[in-house]
Amino acid sequence: MFMPVTSLAGIGPRLATLVEKAAGPHVVDLCWHCPCAIIDRRYAPVVAEARPGVVATMTLKVDKHVKPPNKRLPYKVFCSDDTGTLALVFFHAHEDYLRKTLPEGEIRVVSGTVEKFGQELQITHPDHIGTTGEIAKLQTVEPVYPLTTGLTLKVLSKAIRASLEMLPDLTEWIDPAYLEQQGWKPWRDAVLEVHAPEDEAALEPKAPIRQRLAYDELLANQLALALVRASMRRIKGRAIEGDGRLRAKIIEALPFRLTDSQEIASREIAADMAAPVRMLRLLQGDVGSGKTVVALLAMLIAVEAGGQAVMMAPTEILARQHLATIEPLARAVGVEIVLLTGRDKGKTRSAILEKLKSGEAALAVGTHALFQDDVEFKSLALAVIDEQHRFGVHQRLTLAAKGRAVDILVMTATPIPRTLMLTAYGDMDVSRLPDKPAGRLPIDTRVMPIERLDQVTMALKRSLDSGAQVYWVCPLVEESEVLDVAAAEERFDHLKGVFPDVVGLVHGRMKGKEKDAAMAAFSSGQTRILVATTVIEVGVDVTEATVMVIEHAERFGLAQLHQLRGRIGRGNNPSTCLLLYASPLTPAAQARLTIMRETDDGFRIAEEDLKLRGAGELLGTRQSGLPEFRLADLSVHGDLLAAARDDAALILNRDADLESERGQALRMLLYLFERDAAVKNLRSG
């Protein structure tokens, strides 16, 4: 099943690239590549009754071939039955081939879409031509698969049929009672049947056959997470308890009271750290809900207990921002903190590493640089990882390996729907921060057509006169960062013409120092308008910024729009977010903009986003640590996910090493869905 697609007949290197793009690199990927539509060739009318616009399979006598006077005109083959005549039309035809396939005077079965051209009935480029002996093979329901440019349905269908012939018969891994209760077929039968849909209903995610395969995939996911969790739990933790002195000082020094949810989350974290098993907790809070303070309090427990703590962020901008929040508070209680990023080189870097190794620096903030082999800690007790979905599980484990039984706290400002929580973070306990800090004003969100750009620019002038600062986010262009940058530079030049001396620019292709300089100029108020690509999506904190303009908002996902909007409204002044769109809007884009106008509750936005986009796209899954599902659709299969989660827990309770007969079958399931890394977590290897 894991042979490359090139092992299939007719798939050479060029086609393999296309097949891989559409479905994946292995034979098994073709088995998971389910039909998205059908062509029903069972309609077999006589010529007089054939309906235009419908696919028909007709038995016809070939009357005559008519070659056109010049090559630009079509080649026609006239055919008939007792009720009338129909023309088969071919452009750029090869006469020899057509005369061989459609010999005059013979009977042929032809399948394709019937069209009416003037008074003439015709089929242009029939999909299939065969003899009367092949009628049963032609008169079927044909599955249609998602394709990619350059790949034809014929080629892909043939490759999928070949891969299905290689399907092994595997021992059943689903609990027999549950299988019977659901009325599901055995695995091999289900895979074969999903590729032979009889009608539109068979394509629905709720069709029993699709549910069966979705459950297999979700069970593999939940079992893998449960195994990782069990192996984490087996590694003995250490009880980390502080005396509370540093935390008390910090809470006193804060200019605001902790919200109820911050207090609850802090208690949950403290209890986890005090327990003798390793902590693996996710702190989920909406934009601006105060996660950094909760994380700092957790880090201070480690320091009070004589250990060290680190906080890791996905970008340098974000790491510096965390440092800016934490450093003054840490200094106030006499705790040394260092920043380590990829930019630190030579003597500076050596000095930082020495402080971490000797324990002189109790706290560290940084980027991936904290993972590197030469980074050593005297006594690392807690690792805080921010924006977890930007890092895979393996990176989480690498950082944990930097100390003895390190506790892990993961933070995300991306509100994640419950179903996704279970599939991505099933190995963690969760704390949520639903409240906004006191005094936060709601953001006035408006949606307007991009044609009103000039009015928006004039309105900016009024905002700038009143002392506001402005983010101007440029559109996403296809998948190209180069084009994104070009769009940002063009807008920067335009605004600079209107507001000389106060416009800055930041984008993903700038060097670190340039980005920092642009951000610092904006933070200090030296520049008042910051034109940016989505690099400012996460963690940028300028309290004076009260206006956000998002150009071509219809191109952004809901979660991303919500993240961007969260960059304003951080001070005490009212804030405005303008979403500019280009017509015509797709229904999904319209729905996204409407939701943005109606609510700023990140958790509701996340649930709506899942419904609108499906889980695959939700957090830009391909770049993240989130699982990709081929058969399960989390917006529909939530109930199956819950069942798979319970089942996984039950299985490991009874057979922790998957050694029983069903356990062995489940190992096969994990291999089948490439979750075999989880099998390595079993005690027996």
Among 22-26, 321-325, 555-559, the range with the most confident prediction by mean pLDDT is 22-26
At residue 51, what are phi and psi to the nearest 5 degrees? -95, 125
Residue 195 confidence class, pLDDT cut points 50, 70, 90: very high
User: Residue 346 belongs to what H/E stretch?
Assistant: helix 346-358
Helix 291-304 to helix 260-274 angle, to the nearest 10 degrees?
A: 30
Residue 685 confidence class, pLDDT cut points 50, 70, 90: very low
214: pLDDT strictly greater than 90: yes
At residue 636, what are phi and psi to the nearest 5 degrees? -115, -35
Alpha helices in 536-636 (DSSP H): 558-565, 587-598, 602-613, 615-618
What would the mean pLDDT of 245-256 be, rounded to a whole number?
Answer: 90
Global pTM?
A: 0.66
**CA nearest to 172, candidates 193, 183, 186, 184:** 186
Class level of CATH domain 42-139:
mainly beta
Give the percent of the chain with pLDDT over 90: 48
Token pair for 656? 């922790």
Cα of 435 vs its chain's centroid, Å? 26
352: pLDDT strictly greater than 50: yes
3-state class (DSSP) for residue 309: strand
At residue 36, what are phi and psi to the nearest 5 degrees? -110, -10
- Per domain, the residue ranges of the chain are 5-38+159-203, 42-139, 245-433, 443-599
Alpha helices in 401-534 (DSSP H): 418-425, 453-465, 481-498, 512-523
392: pLDDT strictly greater than 60: no
Q: What is the CA radius of gyration of the chain?
A: 31
What would the mean pLDDT of 166-170 be, rounded to a whole number?
Answer: 93
3-state class (DSSP) for residue 462: helix
Q: pLDDT of 29-41, one tens digit each? A: 999 999 999 999 9
pLDDT of residue 287: 66
Q: Which sign does the torsion angle of CA 403, 405, 411, 417 carry? A: positive
The span from the CA of 614 to the CA of 37, in Å, is 18
629: pLDDT strictly greater than 90: no
109: pLDDT strictly greater than 80: yes
393: pLDDT strictly greater than 70: no
Residue 57 confidence class, pLDDT cut points 50, 70, 90: very high
DSSP for residue 79: E
pLDDT of residue 623: 34
Burial (CB count within 10 angstroms: exposed 0-12, middle 13-18, buried 19+), residue 264: middle
At residue 655, what are phi and psi to the nearest 5 degrees? -145, 75
Mean pLDDT rounded to a whole number for the chain: 86
The span from the CA of 558 to the CA of 541, in Å, is 21
Dihedral angle, C-alpha 441, 447, 450, 451, nearest 10 °: -110
pLDDT of residue 603: 75
607: pLDDT strictly greater than 80: no
Q: Which residue has 């100029």 as its token pair?
A: 521
Higher pLDDT: 400 or 667? It is: 667
Edge-to-edge strands, sheet with 308-312: 337-340, 363-366, 308-312, 380-386, 407-412, 280-285, 429-433
**Least confident span in 315-319, 557-561, 610-614:** 610-614
Q: Which sign does the torsion angle of CA 283, 288, 289, 294 carry? A: positive
Q: Which fold has domain 443-599?
A: Rossmann fold (3.40.50)
The CA-atom distances, in angstroms, between 650 and each of 157, 226, 343, 430, 632 are: 39, 10, 48, 21, 21
The span from the CA of 337 to the CA of 167, in Å, is 57
At residue 142, what are phi and psi to the nearest 5 degrees? -105, 125
267: amino acid identity, one letter? R
* Bridge partners, 537 (sequence order): none
Taking a C-beta distance cutoff of 8 angstroms, is the pair 269, 547 a contact?
no
Q: pLDDT of 118-130, one tens digit each? A: 989 999 999 999 9
Higher pLDDT: 355 or 286? It is: 355
The span from the CA of 167 to the CA of 187, in Å, is 10
Taking a C-beta distance cutoff of 8 angstroms, is the pair 578, 456 a contact?
yes
Taking a C-beta distance cutoff of 8 angstroms, is the pair 406, 382 a contact?
yes
10: pLDDT strictly greater than 60: yes
What would the mean pLDDT of 354-380 be, rounded to a whole number?
Answer: 89
**CA nearest to 121, candidates 93, 65, 81:** 81
Residue 654 confidence class, pLDDT cut points 50, 70, 90: very high
pLDDT of residue 62: 97
Burial (CB count within 10 angstroms: exposed 0-12, middle 13-18, buried 19+), residue 463: middle
679: pLDDT strictly greater than 70: no
Decide whether 42-139 matches 443-599 in CATH topology: no
3-state class (DSSP) for residue 86: strand
Dihedral angle, C-alpha 121, 122, 128, 129, nearest 10 °: 80
Burial (CB count within 10 angstroms: exposed 0-12, middle 13-18, buried 19+), residue 604: middle
What would the mean pLDDT of 484-502 be, rounded to a whole number?
Answer: 85
Give the percent of the chain with pLDDT over 70: 88
3-state SS, 42-60, equals CCCCCHHHCCCCCEEEEEE
Architecture of domain 245-433: 3-Layer(aba) Sandwich (3.40)
Residue 403 confidence class, pLDDT cut points 50, 70, 90: low
